[in-house]
Structure 1
Amino acid sequence: MMPEVFAICTGLPKPFNGAEMSAIDKRPVEGPVTIRSFGIEGDMVADTKHHGGPDMAVHLYPHDHYAEWDAWLGGHDLLSAPAAFGENLMVDGLAEDGVHIGDRFRLGEALLEISQPRQPCWKIEHRFGRKGMVARIVKRHNCGWYFRVLEEGSAKAGDMLQRVETGHDQWTVARLFASLYDPAERADRGQLEEIANLERLCVPWREKARKALES
């Protein structure tokens, strides 16, 4: 069964931590939206050094993780609303161990391709007001991922996210993330060489693998 996108969310930069701005606070959009190569129209990033660009055009964090987070946090108001983790697409039935780098999905008129896992940062912990979330993501590999946009087009809540092509089938998002971030599952030399040569993986993550090889 194809997963349904039950909310498409966008946000604009707002004060977040003193002078720091962030667009992690996203809200559902009513009706159709246009998905461009730079992202969803009406969605912006504040930190253009670490976020945004063609390889981080659309973010998905699996809604399947919300229940576990709710139990771990002892309940949290953010988890009762869409886009608690700043994601653009709210979807059930997809997780990091079931999708691969380079998988392609049709959403409405748009064609999306998984380009990289999401690297967790301090903003998640600041948003929830709880330390330890980044360490838990690293350990459990529940990082979410980004899409690049291969074909622009319109989409809306209620559309199906249809996988139309499998990418690097040996490299799920979970395995790729674990190989570069989880000390317990650190990639060996052969795996790092594989990662460095994954054509559909974004360049910064391939470079991270190359640097690890050099060191």
Structure 2
Amino acid sequence: MQIISTNIGVPTRIVWSGNSELTGIFKYPVVEALFLGKTDVSKDTVIDRVHHAGLNKACYLFSADQYDYWKALYPDLEWDWGMFGENLTVAGLDESQIRIGDVYRIGTALVQISQPREPCYKLGVRFGTQEILRQFIERKHPGTYVRILEEGEVQKGDPVALEQQSKNTLTVQQFYELMYAKEKSKATLQLFMSNESVPEYKKERYKKFL
């Protein structure tokens, strides 16, 4: 895997349900390296810190390989890297292979896979339609958040090198499917609950399905 683009959010005012608000989902490529801090990306725009940033969502990665699919669905948009609100656009990122808890070296930073991204209305605002939320869920390639084990700088062209693979086989895609499945797989639930890298607040929500 390799970093194709580093992206930073520009504070953008939107109107949603009659209310004016700011969002940081409008991210665009930058030339300079990004500093990955423990709770966020330096100089990035994070408005809603309840649902974004923090120890379990310090940085968001999305696959460059998925862009052609979405460009075909939305050919009239002005396309650039960062369209999905990701800080790092990554070539070769495959959620069906990456495990929750995997540790990667990116530039001088050391990161750990923590959880998939859940789409919200702000993605719909960026794409001009809330229909993309259903499409994004059905596509099952949501990208992934990481927690920062060692702070550091990441720049375009840096490799994303696996340093330690999780012994628990739960993948990012399995985690994502579990969230939206009406019938929860018992086997996946057991993997989910026994994975030390799954955020505890997520486990609390899923205990009722055991």
TM over 0.5: yes
Distance in 2, Cα, partners of 1:30 & 1:96? 27
Which residue of structure 2 aligns with residue 187 of structure 1?
184
- Equivalent residue letter for 1:76: D
Normalising by structure 1, report the TM-score.
0.89
What is residue 39 of structure 1 aligned with on the other side? 40
Q: Deviations over 1:96-152 (max 9, x none)?
A: 112110111101110010100111111111211123211122222121110000001
Q: Tell me if 1:130 matches 2:129.
A: yes
The answer as to 2:77 corresponding to 1:77 is: yes
**Structure 1 residue ranges (4+ consecutive) displaced by more than 6 angstroms after TM superposition:** none
State yes or no: 1:207 paired with 2:204: yes
The 1:76–1:202 alpha-carbon spacing in structure 2 relative to 1, beyond 3 Å, is farther
What CA deviation, in whole Å up to 9, does each residue of 1:52-108 have, x standing for no partner?
A: 1111001011121111112223x1324x21100000001111121121101111011
Q: Does the 8 Å CA contact 1:198/1:206 hold for their aligned counterparts?
A: no
2:26 aligned partner: 25
TM-score (norm 2): 0.90
Aligned to 2:105: 106
1:80-95 matched pairs, under 5 angstroms? 80-95=79-94
Alignment of 1:30-69 (within 5 A): 30-69=31-70
Flag the 1:76–1:169 CA change in 2: closer, same or farther, 3 A.
farther
Secondary structure of 1:19's aligned partner: strand
Inter-partner Cα distance in structure 2 for 1:64 and 1:10: 20
RMSD: 1.7
Instruction: Show structure 1 runs of 5+ residues with no match.
Output: none
Q: 3-state DSSP class of the match of 1:59?
A: strand
2:194 paired residue among 194, 197, 206? 197
Match of 2:198, SS state, is coil
Deviation per CA, 1:18-67, whole angstroms, max 9, x where unpaired? 41211001122323332111122101311112111111001011121111
Q: Tell me how far 1:190 sits from its aligned partner.
A: 4.6
Tell me, in whole angstroms, the C-alpha distance in 2 between the residues paired with 1:168 and 1:179. 19
Match of 1:6 in 2: 4
State the alpha-carbon separation in 1 of the partners of residues 66 and 30 from structure 2.
22
Instruction: Give the structure 1 partner of residue 114 of structure 2.
Output: 115
Percent identity of equivalent pairs: 31
Distance in 2 (alpha carbons) for counterparts of 1:91 and 1:208: 30
* Structure 2 portions without partners, runs of 5+: none
Counterpart residue type for residue 30 of structure 1: V
- Give, in whole Å, the separation in 2 of the partners of 1:150 and 1:122: 30
Amino acid at match of 1:154: E
